[in-house]
Amino acid sequence: MRKFIFGLFGIFACLFVNVAKAELHVDIVAGGTDPIAIAIQKFEIIGKVPANDAKMLREVVENDLKRSGLFRIINHDAFPEYVKMNDMPNFTNWAAIKAQNLVQASIKPDGKDNYKLEFYLWDVNGKEQIEAQSLISSKKSVRRLAHIMADAIYERLTGEMGYFDTQIVFIAESGPITDRVKRMAIMDQDGYGMRYLSDKKTFVMSPHFSPNMSTIVFLSYRNDDPMVWVLDLDTGDQTKLGNFGGMNFAPRFSPDGTKVALSLVKNGITNIYEYDIYAKSLRQLTFGKNIDTSPSYSPDGKYMAFNSDMSGSQQIHVLDLSTLKQKRITFGSGRYATPAWSPDGQYIAFTKMADDTFYIGIMNQQGRHEKILAGGWYMEAPSWAPGSRRLVYYETERSENNQERISHIRSVDITGQNIYDIDLPDDLNGTEPTWSPKLP
């Protein structure tokens, strides 16, 4: 396992009781859905486990579910009883406080260096247990147990892939606006455990994870030479992707991780190319005297969305990678940029600029049914969570004296509801976030 990032000795999940087939899934696309009322009991401590660790695990699970906007965490003071792990809940009592689901959990040592967490999920109205799991991790990585537990609850009750056991890579900016330091950093999706992946000396931009989370591809300015580099997350080593004979930027991995799409400037013309990592070969994908950039693969790897000014203004086009035929898909007012294909293939997220305002939105893969999710003075770089439920992006606010720029990393639901900031350390600005796949 990758100790460089996670410090994880091992995590295993197994189902150890028969799971009922009750369907409790909610409609996650429609707005205004009533949140699921869920009661999460205090974690039962077995053996020598610090009370603060058990308390922290419960809080992480509750915060994950609450931030999703799909759950209402029932106040602990309203609980009618405490149910030990091997006891049956009194469903009448829990129904009386309008709990739809009840969670029991226990935590105990597993050997010298590990914890074992077990939990049960109950359907109060159906009066049955619908999920039970046992999870093991190193004590140093105990927070991952809570995120994995929250994912399991989320997935069982919504029918959608969870996204809590994930990370976000971004550009951490500090210092005055005239002399910004830009460093690549990584953190858990809730902002915990931020650490730097690059030093203060090198200007970096546009980080993106590989599908298997082994590497990050990014733009690096070294000796005033903007080139695409790759960071190995096991070792921390950084290597140049290739020597392409021109400025290259906006890198993005293919879904199978074998190729990297990028923009390459040759003779003053910017086109999109595809670099085969194993064959070490470069293939040109777009042609002409336009500015073509921000490539994003479809999940099946057959198509690529990108933005181009070939029509006279910045718009989003879709390229068929087998024929290299392309089609413009945006025709609304304003300019469109930074397309990002959702993991399920249903949507393309984008940045839109119109009427002196920036917007983050989504549309279907044909460019129809555009939906604006957020708007502001400056915002950009939407990136999808696993499961295609939420996006992360950054928003920059202009100060009154125009001498300062404060940038926040924000997350928004595909309904346009439940926008929240991801907390960063004080005096740190966050830009260009990219959400990871689920951690291995």
* pLDDT tens figures, 338-377: 999 999 999 999 999 999 999 999 999 999 999 999 999 9
Average pLDDT of the residues in 32-37: 84
List the Cα angle 63/340/252 in 5-degree steps: 105
> Do the two domains 12-158 and 168-435 of this chain adopt the same fold?
no
Mean pLDDT of 151-172: 98
Residue 403 confidence (pLDDT): 66
Supply 1's token pair.
Answer: 């396992």
CB atoms within 10 A of CB 307: 24
Whether the pLDDT of residue 11 is over 50: the answer is: no
CB 185 within 8 A of CB 196: yes
What pairs with residue 248 in β-bridges? 264
Question: Residue 27 — pLDDT band, cuts 50, 70, 90?
Answer: very low
For the chain, the distance separating the N- and C-terminal CA atoms, rounded to the nearest angstrom, is: 8
Distance CA 86, CA 89 (A): 10
pLDDT tens digits along 45-81:
999 999 999 999 999 999 999 999 999 999 999 999 9
Question: Token pair of 158, please?
Answer: 């919504």
**Cβ atoms within 10 Å, residue 397:** 13
The DSSP bridge pattern shows strands 315-320 and 292-297 to be unpaired
Do 37 and 99 meet the contact criterion of CB atoms below 8 Å apart? yes
More confident position, 395 or 2: 395
Q: 12-158 is classed in which CATH architecture?
A: 3-Layer(aba) Sandwich (3.40)
Q: How far is 8 from 251, CA to CA, in rounded Å?
A: 29
pLDDT confidence bin for 402, thresholds 50/70/90: low
Single out the residue of 291, 293, 275 nearest to residue 283, CA to CA.
275
Q: What's the alpha-carbon Rg for the chain, to the nearest Å?
A: 23
**Two structure tokens written together for 215:** 């590497």
Task: Choose among 160, 140, 136: nearest CA to 24.
Answer: 160
Cβ count within 10 A of residue 356: 6
Q: What is the pLDDT of residue 245?
A: 80
Nearest CA among 318, 381, 302, 304 for reference residue 349: 381
Q: Which residues contact 201 (CB under 8 A, 6 or more apart)?
A: none
Task: Find tokens 């030479």 and name the residue.
Answer: 225
What DSSP designation does 220 have? Answer: E
Looking at residue 165, what is its pLDDT? 98
Consecutive H or E run containing 143: helix 142-158
Rounded mean pLDDT, 269-281? 96
Q: Check whether 319 has a pLDDT greater than 60.
A: yes
Residue boundaries of the structural domains of the chain = 12-158, 168-435
pLDDT at 22: 37
Q: Which of these ranges, 2-11, 94-103, 120-129, 157-166, has the smallest mean pLDDT?
A: 2-11
Q: pTM of the full predicted structure?
A: 0.91
3-state secondary structure of 414: coil
pLDDT band, residue 405 (cuts 50/70/90): confident
- The two three-digit tokens of residue 140, written as one number: 């140093």
The DSSP H or E segment spanning 338 is: strand 335-341
Fold of 168-435: Neuraminidase (2.120.10)
Dist CA 30 CA 116 (whole Å): 37
